[in-house]
């Protein structure tokens, strides 16, 4: 039996594009951590709230930013929306499909890029991407052409397409992660700090490709970041998240208008959350 033609996997799913691309209501997630010395048995534990009563909506073809420092709950939120974590309570719907009840279908609608994307580092980008294509039942020949075209668009040299990933910079590896995510033509793309640690040119290449995805491929994008200029450049609306809670939401200008004398988005963030953005904690 031959492989299926390269076609968006979301075509296999029935969903309503007239509804919000993403509708999140009162999501709540806690973790249990050990206190003091880490012992196998008998250690005291404490409950840590990672995401607390988070609600927001994202419209079709919108780039929506969730902006906050490390440890604010951004990545936990993304992992719940990508079905990797189960929320304690609350719900989320993607074009009307329920995150938990319709998990299998939702996985065909979305893809995710994380700051620590996993690969088979001994293999080349081509080998990694063709492996992913086979998992989705895509035609390897067509996937090969599409993968190379995406990576060229992101500024990767064609020669590097055939070299081991372990010999590449983190910026180049992140471009491969973006190509892998877009290979399935997702209708919802979850980008968890996709440009963190990239050099300025790679950062701009990725940002321009994100805008292209929105404009030319009918993609809705949820972007988490702690980069203020990136959020202002890419996002129609932005949510400030701090200690697991969304404390403000709006356009960049609306957020700045909430604080008297705020000149920059960072001014507004610090005043509204009481903390600064830091790349490392």
The second-level CATH assignment, the architecture, of 9-273 is 3-Layer(aba) Sandwich (3.40)
Q: Are the CB atoms for 79 and 115 separated by under 8 Å?
A: no
Classify residue 274 by its DSSP letter: S
Phi, psi dihedral angles at 118 (to 5 degrees): -95, 140
Q: Are the CB atoms for 187 and 219 separated by under 8 Å?
A: yes
Tokens representing 170 are: 């983190």
d(CA 144, CA 130): 7
Residue 217 Rama label (left phi>0; alpha psi -120 to 50; beta): alpha
Can you give the pLDDT at residue 9? 64
Low-confidence spans in the chain with pLDDT less than 70: 1-11, 36-43, 277-281
Sheet (strand 188-192) strand order: 110-113, 188-192, 220-225, 63-67, 237-242, 245-250
What would the pLDDT profile of 153-171 be if each residue is shown by its tens digit?
Answer: 888 888 999 999 888 888 8
Which ranges of 33-169 would DSSP assign to H, the alpha helix? Answer: 74-81, 103-109, 125-135, 140-153
Going from the C-alpha of 76 to that of each of 11, 83, 153, 169, 241, the distances in angstroms are 28, 11, 30, 26, 12
- Say which residue the tokens 């963030």 belong to: 269
The candidate with the shortest Cα–Cα distance to 238, out of 10, 154, 227, is 227
What would the pLDDT profile of 1-41 be if each residue is shown by its tens digit?
Answer: 333 344 556 667 788 889 999 999 999 999 988 776 655 56
Cβ neighbour number for residue 103 with a 10 Å cutoff: 12
d(CA 260, CA 104): 47
Tokens representing 49 are: 């709230």
Can you give the pLDDT at residue 191? 93
Nearest-10 Cα torsion for 158, 210, 244, 47? -30
Tokens representing 260 are: 């008297």
Can you give the pLDDT at residue 281? 37
Can you give the pLDDT at residue 27? 96
């Amino acid at each position: 039996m031959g492989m299926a033609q390269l076609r968006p996997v979301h075509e296999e799913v029935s969903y309503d594009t007239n509804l919000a691309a993403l509708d999140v209501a009162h999501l709540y997630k806690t973790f249990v951590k050990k206190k003091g010395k880490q012992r196998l048995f008998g250690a005291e534990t404490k409950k840590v709230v990672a995401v607390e009563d988070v609600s927001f909506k994202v419209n079709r073809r919108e780039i929506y930013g969730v902006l906050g420092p490390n440890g604010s709950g951004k990545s936990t939120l993304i992992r719940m929306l990508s079905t990797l974590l189960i929320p304690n309570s609350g719900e989320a719907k993607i074009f009307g499909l329920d995150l938990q009840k319709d998990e299998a279908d939702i996985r065909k609608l979305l893809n995710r890029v994380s700051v620590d994307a996993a690969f088979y580092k001994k293999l080349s980008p081509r080998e990694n991407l063709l492996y992913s294509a086979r998992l989705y039942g895509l035609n390897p020949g067509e996937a090969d052409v599409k993968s190379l075209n995406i990576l060229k668009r992101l500024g990767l040299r064609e020669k590097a397409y055939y070299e081991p990933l372990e010999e590449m910079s983190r910026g180049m590896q992140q471009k491969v992660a973006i190509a892998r995510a877009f290979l399935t033509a997702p209708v919802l793309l979850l980008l968890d700090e996709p440009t963190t640690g990239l050099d300025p040119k790679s950062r701009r290449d990725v940002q321009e490709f994100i805008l292209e995805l929105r404009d030319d491929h009918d993609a809705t994008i949820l972007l988490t970041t702690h980069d203020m200029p990136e959020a202002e450049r890419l996002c129609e609306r932005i949510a400030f998240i701090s200690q697991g809670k969304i404390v403000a939401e709006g356009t960049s200008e609306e957020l700045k208008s909430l604080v008297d004398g705020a000149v920059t988005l960072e001014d507004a963030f610090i005043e509204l959350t009481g903390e600064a953005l830091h790349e490392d904690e």
